[in-house]
């Protein structure tokens, strides 16, 4: 795919960018090594000052950054602003807390001194998606740079201007040249970058297929990887849940970013006794959403990020309906509407074996599955190759915590939708990847945990 901005509202080409030549890539790699050498030898206080400057720049240019997100991938402007605000808080968080997360640890042993020290690895290649073009990048880059590393970003081809804006902001924040750079390269050139001696490790947020390919390449070259891949998060509503609150939260949990989120709730597993009430409340919530021009601050759902994504979503829905799923609302693209739009949809009579159950569904499609018992609900929740997040709704907190330990996921939220938070480790299991981002666990992923012993 070319690096180009195509407005998903109209499917019109806005701007196109050339690929970097291999000679340019080699120059970028060398600059990254130089930037790493300067960054790793700078004090944490200096890095913190620069990271706070980056946070201030994001805050001051919040609307401009948000407008770029909306232009390139169609996110409603109010959600795009919220994305930048979250980036600001995350940069501030790591600027304030890196000194604690990276501090030497002293262990009590028979030696006179046993120290654990967290040292940066080097240049980290980041292969990032389009759905949160600022947040996905800074979720990794803020802690990685604070740890002393440098970053090479290979952005998604449809959000090149967001990537260029991020690089510009790092420069304006006075980070050394080469600490944060973009790579506009074809997919088949990624292999060469991973194999290059300048690159120490790789992180990828994307599909499980892409993750498997990158992990294989990195493993062949003995380079560490962190993978944050797809999800098909269960949202479990038990008999004693506050059904109205659960349903209203479920609408937000599914429709955030037009459903284009790895941690969006996707499979709603509802006990039979509360199914009718849940569905009624959910439909009522969907009907209150406004779909339209994402530059309008009153709009809740914009277009899909690309036309091919809307086409794929339509196939998943239609194939599932042919297998017996029923659309209570939505079910297809709006008639006579330009752009990559897809109607918010609620499917019932969903069961394992259908695409909307078995596959990751990246769009405004909610699939409801009924369960007769709690054991069946947990079994359905785990009946997926993914394991990113999950949500449980019940008034019995003790029961919920017990059930949370039975769910195969990286995080479980009780009576709340799943969210990422810089204070909490984020990541998954099974085909949702491995490694963690955010919090102390995230900043240490791309460090050399060095043991220093004195006899």
pLDDT tens digit sequence for 270-288: 999 999 999 999 999 999 9
What is the separation of C-alpha 228 from the centre of its chain, rounded to a whole number of angstroms? Answer: 7
Residue-wise pLDDT tens digits, 380-426: 999 999 999 999 999 999 999 999 999 999 999 999 999 999 999 99
Instruction: Quickly state the pLDDT bin for 95 (edges 50, 70, 90).
Output: very high
Indicate if the alpha-carbon torsion angle 113, 114, 118, 123 is positive or negative.
Answer: positive
Q: What is d(CA 254, CA 222) in angstroms, rounded to the nearest whole number?
A: 38
pLDDT band, residue 267 (cuts 50/70/90): very high
CA angle 381, 234, 263 (to 5 degrees): 135
Please provide residue 189's backbone torsions phi and psi, each rounded to the nearest 5 degrees.
-90, -15
**pLDDT of 338 higher than 90:** no
Question: Residue 257 pLDDT more than 80?
Answer: yes
Q: Given pLDDT bands bounded at 50, 70 and 90, which one contains residue 11?
A: very high
pLDDT of residue 434: 98
Q: How far is CA 159 from CA 167, 339, 391, 413, in A?
A: 13, 17, 31, 31
* pLDDT tens figures, 45-68: 999 999 999 999 999 999 999 999
Predicted pLDDT of residue 70: 99
Three-state secondary structure call for residue 422: coil
Q: Is 228 a catalytic residue?
A: yes
pLDDT reported for residue 337: 76
> Taking Cα atoms as reference points, which of 129, 78, 85, 93 lies closest to residue 302?
78
Catalytically annotated residue among 72, 262, 360, 445: 262
What pLDDT, on the 0 to 100 scale, is given for residue 90? 99
Q: Which two tokens stand for residue 407?
A: 């769910």
Q: List the domains of the chain with CATH numbers.
A: 3-229+430-454 (3.40.605.10), 233-414 (3.40.309.10)
Read off the pLDDT of each residue in 284-312 and give the average, rounded to a whole number. Answer: 97
- Quote the pLDDT of residue 236: 99
Calculate mean pLDDT across residues 163-177: 99
If you average pLDDT over residues 235-248, what whole number do you get?
Answer: 99
User: What's the mean pLDDT when you consider all of the chain?
Assistant: 98
pLDDT at 336 over 80: no
Identify whether 105 is a catalytic site residue.
Answer: no
Q: What percent of the chain stands above pLDDT 90? A: 99
User: Is the confidence at residue 264, as pLDDT, over 90?
Assistant: yes
Of 90, 69, 87, 222, give the one whose Cα is nearest residue 156.
Answer: 69
Rounded Cα gap, residues 306 and 413, in angstroms: 31
C-alpha closest to that of 303 among 361, 252, 231, 364: 364
Q: Which of 79, 228, 360, 445 is catalytic?
A: 228
Task: Evaluate if pTM is beyond 0.85.
Answer: yes
CA angle in degrees (0–180, nearest 5) for 33-34-40: 85
Segment 333-339 mean pLDDT: 84
| H or E element that contains 93 | helix 77-101
For 438, the enclosing helix (H) or strand (E) is: none
Nearest to 304 by CA among 361, 359, 356, 253: 361
Alpha helices in 410-452 (DSSP H): 439-445
Q: Which two tokens stand for residue 129?
A: 């998606």
**Amino acid 223: pLDDT:** 99
Over residues 17-49, the pLDDT tens digits come to 999 999 999 999 999 999 999 999 999 999 999
């Amino acid at each position: 795919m070319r690096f180009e901005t195509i407005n998903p509202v109209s499917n019109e080409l806005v701007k196109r960018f050339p690929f970097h030549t291999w000679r340019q890539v080699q120059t970028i790699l060398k600059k990254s090594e130089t930037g790493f050498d300067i960054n790793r030898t700078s004090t944490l206080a200096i890095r913190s000052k620069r990271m706070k400057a980056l946070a201030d720049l994001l805050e001051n240019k919040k609307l401009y950054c948000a407008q770029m997100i909306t232009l390139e991938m169609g996110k409603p402007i109010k959600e795009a602003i919220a994305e930048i605000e979250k980036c600001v808080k995350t940069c501030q968080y790591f600027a304030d807390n890196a000194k604690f997360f990276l501090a030497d640890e002293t262990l009590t042993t028979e030696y006179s001194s046993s120290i654990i020290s967290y040292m940066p690895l080097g240049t980290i290649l980041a292969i990032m998606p389009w759905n949160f073009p600022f947040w996905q990048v800074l979720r990794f880059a803020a802690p990685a740079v604070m740890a002393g590393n440098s970053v090479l970003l290979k952005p998604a081809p449809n959000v090149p201007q967001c990537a260029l804006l991020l690089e510009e902001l790092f420069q304006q924040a006075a980070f050394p040249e080469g600490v944060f750079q973009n790579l506009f390269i074809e997919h088949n050139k990624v292999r060469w970058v991973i194999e290059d001696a300048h690159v120490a490790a790789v992180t990828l947020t994307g599909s499980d297929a892409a993750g498997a390919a990158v992990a294989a390449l990195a493993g062949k070259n003995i380079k560490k990887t962190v993978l944050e891949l797809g999800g098909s998060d269960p949202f479990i509503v038990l008999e004693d849940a506050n059904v109205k609150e659960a349903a209203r939260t479920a609408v937000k949990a599914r429709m955030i970013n037009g459903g284009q989120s790895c941690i969006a709730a996707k499979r709603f597993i509802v006990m039979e006794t509360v199914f009718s009430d849940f569905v009624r409340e959910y439909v009522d919530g969907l009907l209150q959403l406004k779909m339209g021009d994402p530059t309008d601050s009153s709009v809740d759902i914009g277009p899909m990020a690309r036309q091919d994504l809307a086409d794929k979503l339509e196939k998943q829905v239609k194939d599932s309906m042919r297998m017996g799923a029923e659309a209570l609302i939505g079910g297809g693209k709006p008639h006579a509407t330009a752009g990559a739009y897809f109607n918010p949809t609620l499917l019932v009579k969903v069961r394992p074996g259908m695409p909307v159950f078995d596959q990751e569904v990246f769009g405004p499609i909610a699939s409801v599955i009924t369960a007769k018992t709690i054991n069946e609900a947990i079994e359905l929740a785990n009946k997926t190759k993914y394991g990113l997040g999950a949500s449980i709704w019940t008034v019995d907190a003790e029961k919920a915590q017990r059930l949370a330990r039975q769910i195969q996921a990286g995080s479980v939220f009780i009576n709340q939708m799943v969210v990422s938070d810089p204070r909490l480790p984020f990541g998954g299991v099974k085909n949702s990847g491995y490694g963690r981002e955010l919090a102390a666990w995230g900043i240490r992923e791309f460090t050399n945990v060095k043991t220093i012993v004195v006899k």
